[in-house]
Chains A and B, each alone.
Chain A
């Protein structure tokens, strides 16, 4: 999958390039709006990550001109978090809108979501990672043959981790998706919840599934 990053700040472009390449994408980079627009019109990209603050032609201009001929998915990056700016971006035809400073795993998660939008993978009825099974319909979890009792929030957290298995989830994402709090709360609720979940599904077993990526977040996956 091919991604075009249009970003004039060299450092930002560098880490976006590295991070996305390491996640398995082919990444091109343009440093100005005009170059970005030219590349986007010449090549077929699956996604364009577009900064708003660009020299010469800014992100709005690029998006406007691109939308006349192409329907490539576009994610806008901006330092402006005002509602009016977001609305403007989405009105111009942006598919997503991310405000700086953002956490890289969140960007990655959004990129995946945008990519998935076209693929339409059906979500399986029962989620399974290694010998851990989760049945959302009947609200049950098993590790091997052993049934595990979970509270509602623990179940929601495990469901999220298993749905996004192999992807890193940050604290902010988890709070937003499990507790439905869309702002930065000053609480260790995620740490405590993960600890409790681990005590139920990991501690009694040899094969640990929940992993901490220090300074980034948590991931649930089978590591041999």
Chain B
């Protein structure tokens, strides 16, 4: 089943709640009204009874009551809804006196008479025609000391009419009110959710080719405008990511085109005429070297792809940075000796990570430093254990890097001096790999350079054993 629309659901819910509220209020009003009318009736019966009692007290005996009823009848004269009935206790069959129609139900009347006491009592009864009566009863003493039961009945027809009119009007108004509330709620929700159509339109237009569209947040309800801003932000990030990817494929195609072009040209030139076998050998050697570079770009690319999907990686272990740095430095030491460069490893720290990847990051930084360090100088690998971070700094003196290059240095295929580094066999991915490795370790790769003086690359790892800063501060550094 298709889920009901939001506006329909809200409209129905509000209508039902509104209906419940109206019914509740109507019932409350009905009962309050009934109670109030009842109290009023009792009050007036009580007053009338007091008057009757006063009049009766002037009569000597029951005979006088039946003989001269006028004074008593005058009491109830003018009150259409009042009936006065007085009985003789010795004869309950016929009343001594009866004004008006009296109760239509003689049994109820008899019951009331029999239970009459000197206390004023009320009883309610409904006669055959459905009319409701309130009866006050009391034993009243005459002058000769005998007491007669007096019933004073009030016909509540007026009150009943009032109440039923009230109920009727409420019942007629209720469905109308219900429809009105429901429609209003439905309309309000429809109006409020109208911007969703805008969402749909934008979503329908967005694709990887076209990420330019943004949602307009003007005049949007707050909840939706927050959502729209979230979506706009997401589109922005996707846009940036897609642009970076397409830029990257451009770069990759360009990077591969150069060596492929070289290979093809070289092979075609060689094949254009007969050559000695030494010449063929030379060409094959140079082709192999060029192909090695292509292969290196491809495997670096694969490595980068692998690092950005870290699910298939081996779990991290504790890696002593100084040992890895020393190992890498040893590998580079011969190349360094060639340039009379001294490699210096200082300090120690342990981090959680992948040994091979850390070696690779250090190796990329060191080969970079070695390439740019002037002969006869010193490259320092400084390892520091901080409270929250362990860092490894690779610094080399030299011409340095201009500030405008620094923000792009870790980008793929970014080269400060493209012609020179490409001829040295660099793939342009070394520092990009360093950054990917560091982000896999939740660390950072940074560079600072003072042109003409010193260039420092820094790898910052989160500390291997997270501990409270206060405690960490007390421990000796470099453990």
Interface of A toward B, CB cutoff 8 Å: 81-84, 101, 153, 175, 179-189, 192-193, 196, 214-216
Contacts and interface: CB of A to CB of B under 8 A. Distances in A.
Interface of B is mostly: helix
Contacts of A179: 327, 330-331
B338 A214 contact: no
Interface of B: 281, 284-289, 295-296, 298-300, 302-303, 306, 312-314, 327-328, 330-332, 334-335, 337-338, 356, 359-360, 363-364, 367, 370, 425-426, 430
A189 B296 contact: no
Nearest to A81: B302
Contacts of B370: 187
Given A84-B312, A216-B288, A187 B306 contact: no
A101 B295 contact: yes
B436 to A, nearest CB: 13
Nearest to A80: B302
A153 B329 CA distance: 13
B298 A192 contact: no
Contact of B312 (A83, A181, A187, A188): A83
A101 B296 CA distance: 9
Contact of A215 (B289, B298, B330, B338): B289
A205 B275 CA distance: 35
A16 to B, nearest CB: 16
A183 B312 contact: no
Contact of A183 (B288, B334, B359): B359
Contact of B306 (A81, A188, A193): A81
A216 B292 CA distance: 10
A192 B306 CA distance: 32
A185 B331 contact: yes
Interface of A is mostly: loop
A101 B298 CA distance: 8
Q: Which of A186, A187, A215 has the most CB of B within 10 A?
A: A186
Contacts of A215: 284-289
Q: Which 4 A-B pairs have the closest CB atoms?
A: A215-B288, A215-B285, A192-B334, A214-B285
Contacts of A84: 312
A183 B357 CA distance: 9
B360 A187 contact: no
B348 to A, nearest CB: 20
Given A101-B295, A181-B359, A182-B356, A192 B285 contact: no
Nearest to A182: B356
Given A181-B363, A214-B281, A215-B289, A187 B426 contact: no
A101 B288 CA distance: 13
A189 B298 contact: no
A119 B332 CA distance: 38
B301 to A, nearest CB: 11
A181 B328 CA distance: 8
A184 B296 contact: yes
Nearest to B371: A186
A192 B300 CA distance: 24
A5 to B, nearest CB: 21
Contacts of B302: 81
Contacts of A183: 303, 356, 359-360, 363
Contact of A186 (B314, B338, B430): B430
A186 B367 contact: yes
A101 B290 CA distance: 14
27 contacts: A83-B312, A83-B313, A83-B314, A179-B330, A179-B331, A181-B327, A181-B328, A181-B331, A181-B359, A183-B303, A184-B296, A185-B331, A186-B367, A186-B426, A187-B331, A187-B370, A188-B335, A188-B338, A189-B334, A192-B334, A192-B338, A193-B334, A215-B284, A215-B285, A215-B286, A215-B288, A215-B289
